[in-house]
Amino acid sequence: MSNAQSLDIPEDLQEDDRPKWDNKFQYILSCIGFAVGLGNVWRFPYLCQIYGGGAFLIPYFIALVFEGIPLFHLELAIGQSMRKGSIGVWNNISPYLGGVGIGSLMVSFLVSLYYNTILAWVMWYFVNSFQEPLPWSICPLNGNRTGYIKECHKSTSVNYFWYRRALNISSDITDSGNLQWWLVLCLASSWAIVYICIIRGIESTGKAIYVTATFPYLVLTIFLIRGLTLPGATEGLVYLFTPNLNILKNPRVWLDAATQIFFSLSLAFGGLIAFSSYNSQKNDCEKDAVTIAVVNSMTSIYASIPIFSVLGFKAITGHWDCLDRNIISIINEFDLPDQSILRDNYTAWLEFLNTTHPKKIAGLKLRNCDLQEFLDQSASGTGLAFIVFTEAIILMPGSQGWAVLFFIMLFSLGLSSMFGNIEGILTPLSEVRIISKSVPKEVLSGIICLISFVTALCFTLRSGSYWLEVFDSYAGSLPLLIISFFEVTGVVYVYGIKRFSDDVKWMTGRQPNFYWQVSWRIISPLLMLIVFIAFVTLQTQKQPSYGAWNPKYEGFPMKEEKDYPAWILAICVLLVVIPCISIPTVAFYHLIKRVLGRRKRKDLNPVNTLSMAPQENDNAFYNGQEYVFTLTINQQK
Amino acid sequence: MLGVLLLVFSLVALAHAELCRPDAQNAFKVRLSIKTALGDNAYAWDASEEYLFKAMVAFAMRRYSNKETTQISNVLLCNMTERVSFWFVVTDSSKNVTTVPGSEVEAAIRMNRNRINSAFLLTDNTLQFLKISSTLSPPIEPTVPVWLIVFSVVLCLVGAGILFLVLSGIRQRRKNNNESAENGDLEDKCDTPVTTENGIPCDILDLKTGRINGVYTADDERFTPL
Identify which of A38, A34, A468 has the alpha carbon closest to the alpha carbon of residue A293: A34
- ipTM topping 0.85: no
Q: Name B187's bridge partners.
A: none
Kindly list the residues from chain B whose CB atom is less than 8 angstroms away from the CB atom of residue A325.
none
Q: How confident is the model at residue A325 (pLDDT cuts 50, 70, 90)?
A: confident
pLDDT at B190 over 80: no
Please spell the DSSP secondary structure of A41-104, one letter per residue.
HHTHHHHHHHTTGGGGHHHHHHHIIIIIHHHHHHHHHHHHHHTS-HHHHHHHH-GGGHHHHHHH
Q: Which of the four pLDDT bands, split at 50, 70 and 90, describes residue A7? A: very low
Is residue A290 over pLDDT 90?
A: yes
* Of A136, A190, A140, A212, nearest in space to A400 by CA: A136
More confident residue, A626 or A177: A177
User: CB–CB of A196 and B173 under 8 A?
Assistant: no
Res B147 pLDDT > 50:
yes
Comparing alpha-carbon positions, the chain A residue that sits nearest to B211 is A2
Do residues A135 and B139 touch, judged by C-beta distance below 8 A?
Answer: no
Tell me the H-state helices in A457-523.
464-474, 478-489, 497-508, 514-518
A436 in reach of chain B (CB within 8 A): no
b/e B54-90 (16+ beta carbons within 10 angstroms → b): bebbbbbbbebeeeeebeeebbbbbeeeebbbbbbbb
From chain B, the residues in CB contact with A126 under 8 A are 150
State whether B193 and A4 contact (CB < 8 Å).
yes
Residue B50 domain flag: yes
Is there a contact between A189 and B83 if contact means CB atoms under 8 Å apart? no
Whether A438 has its CB under 8 Å from any CB of chain B: the answer is no
Indicate whether A615 pLDDT > 60: no
Nearest CA in chain B to A126: B147
Residue B87 covered by a domain: yes
Query: What share of chain A in percent tops pLDDT 90?
Result: 52
Strand, coil or helix: A302 = helix
Mean pLDDT of the A326-350 span: 84
What is the model's pLDDT at position A624? 38
Rounded distance, CA A53 to CA A60, Å? Answer: 11
Range of the domain at B27: 16-129
Please give the Cα distance from A444 to A470 (Å, whole number): 29
Residue A437: CB atoms within 10 A of its CB come to: 7
**Amino acid at site A40:** N
Question: Is A130–B36 a contact, with Cβ atoms under 8 angstroms apart?
Answer: no
Residue among A245, A267, A287, A308 at smallest CA distance from A63: A267
The answer, yes or no, to whether residue A635 has pLDDT greater than 60, is: no
- Which stretch of A375-379, A628-632, B146-150, B197-201 has the lowest confidence by average pLDDT? A628-632
Q: Give the residue-averaged pLDDT of A28-39.
A: 93
Pick the closest to residue A481 from A340, A622, A576 (CA basis): A576
CB atoms A336 and B165 under 8 Å = no
Given a contact cutoff of 8 angstroms between Cβ atoms, the answer to whether B116 and B30 are in contact is no
Could you give the CA distance from residue A364 to residue A344 in angstroms, rounded to a whole number? 20
Q: In 3-state terms, chain A is what percent helix, strand and coil (to 5)?
A: 70, 0, 30
| Percent of all residues in chain A with a pLDDT value above 70, rounded to a whole number | 92
Q: Which of B30, B31, B82, B149 to mutate to test the interface with A (most CBs of A within 10 A)?
A: B82
CB contact at 8 A, A492 and A521: yes
CA distances in angstroms from A223 to A119, A133, A307, listed in the order given: 20, 21, 8
Write the CA distances from A352 to A346, A367, B179, integer angstroms.
10, 17, 93
The distance of B137 to chain A (nearest Cα, Å) reads 8
A451 touches chain B (CB under 8 A): no
- Measured between CA atoms, the residue of chain A closest to residue B150 is A127
Residue of chain A nearest B172, judged by CA positions: A440
Reported as a pLDDT band with limits 50, 70 and 90, residue A592 is very high
- Confidence at residue A213, expressed as pLDDT on a 0 to 100 scale: 93
Give dist(CA A160, CA A392) in Å, integer.
15
Look at A2 and B133 and tell me if their CB atoms are within 8 Å. Answer: no
Q: Residue B1 falls within a domain, yes or no?
A: no
Q: Is the pLDDT of residue A489 over 60?
A: yes
- Whether the pLDDT of residue B213 is over 70: the answer is no
pTM for this prediction = 0.81
- Distance of alpha carbon A366 from alpha carbon A89, whole angstroms: 66
CA-based nearest residue to A305, from A233, A404, A377, A245:
A233
**Cα–Cα distance for residue pair B6/A332, rounded to 1 Å:** 38
| Three-state DSSP state, A509 | coil
DSSP track, A193-241:
HHHHHHTTTHHHHHHHHHHHTTHHHHHHHHHHHHHHHSTTHHHHHHHHH
**Cross-strand partners of B32:** B127
Q: What DSSP state is assigned to residue A562? A: E
In Å, how far is B188's CA from the nearest CA of chain A? 16
Relative to beta strand B28-32, strand A545-548 is: unpaired
| DSSP symbols for chain B | -HHHHHHHHHHHHHHHHHHSSTT-TT-EEEEE-HHHHHGGGPPP--HHHHHHHHHHHHHHHHHHH--S---GGGEEEE---TTSEEEEEEEESSSTTEE--HHHHHHHHHHTHHHHHHHTT--TTTEEETT-PPPPPPPP--SS-HHHHHHHHHHHHHHHHHHHHHHHHHHHHHHHHHHHHHHHHHHHH-SSPPP-GGG--GGGS-GGG-PPPGGGGGGGGGSPP-
| C-alpha to C-alpha distance for A244 and A55, rounded to whole angstroms | 6
| Alpha-carbon distances of A54 from A34, A384, A493, B94, rounded to whole Å | 26, 20, 37, 78
Which pLDDT belongs to residue A359?
84
d(CA B125, CA A399): 23
Point out the least confidently predicted range of A502-506, A597-601, A633-637, B55-59: A633-637
* Any domain includes B140: no
Instruction: Using an 8 Å CB-CB cutoff, list chain A residues near B207.
Output: 2
User: Closest partner residue to B169 among A147, A200, A337, by Cβ?
Assistant: A200
Nearest-CA distance B57 → chain A (Å): 23
CA-based Rg of chain A, rounded to a whole angstrom? 28
Question: SS3 of A370, please?
Answer: coil
Tell me whether A165 touches chain B (CB under 8 Å): no
In a domain, B160, yes or no: no
From the list B138, B169, B211, which residue is nearest A141 (CB)? Answer: B138
**pLDDT for res A552:** 87
Q: Which among B82, B155, B195 has the least Cβ separation from residue A189?
A: B155
From A2, A338, A440, residue closest to B169, measured CB to CB? A440
CA distances from A267 to A79, A178, A532, B34 (A): 13, 35, 14, 62
Residue A547 three-state SS: strand
**What are A253-287's pLDDT values in tens digits?**
999 999 999 899 999 999 999 999 998 889 899 99
Dist. CA A451–CA A436, nearest whole Å: 19
Binary contact (A2, B211; C-beta < 8 A): yes
In a domain, residue B147? The reply is no
* Chain B residues near any Cβ of chain A (below 8 Å): 31-36, 81-85, 133, 135-136, 138-139, 146-148, 150-151, 154-155, 158-159, 161-162, 165-166, 169, 173, 192-195, 197, 207, 211
Q: How far apart are CA A262 and CA A254, in angstroms?
A: 12
Distances (CA, A) of A632 to A607, A618, A628, B191: 10, 12, 12, 31
SS3 A545: strand
**Given this model, what pLDDT does residue A400 score?**
92
Q: For residues A305 and A227, what is the distance between their CA atoms, to the nearest angstrom?
A: 8
Contact A73, A266 (CB under 8 A): no
Task: Tally C-beta pairs within 8 A across A and B.
Answer: 92
Closest CA of chain A from B3, distance in Å: 39
- Picking from B136, B146, B211, the nearest residue to A131 by CB comes out as B146
What's the structural domain count of chain B? Answer: 1
Angle formed by the axes of helices A69-82 and A86-93, to 10°?
A: 90
Work out whether the CA dihedral B139, B143, B148, B153 comes out positive or negative: negative
Encode pLDDT of A544-583 as tens digits.
Answer: 889 899 888 887 778 888 999 999 999 999 999 999 999 9
Q: How far is CA B6 from the centre of its chain?
A: 61
Within-domain flag for B222: no
Q: Is A335 on the interface with B (CB under 8 A)?
A: yes
pLDDT at A558: 81
Q: How far is it, in rounded angstroms, from Cα A114 to Cα B68?
A: 69
Q: Say if B162 falls within a structural domain.
A: no
Least CA distance to B85: which residue of chain A?
Answer: A335
Nearest residue on chain A to B134, judged by CA atoms?
A146
> φ, ψ for residue A563 (rounded to 5)?
-85, 150
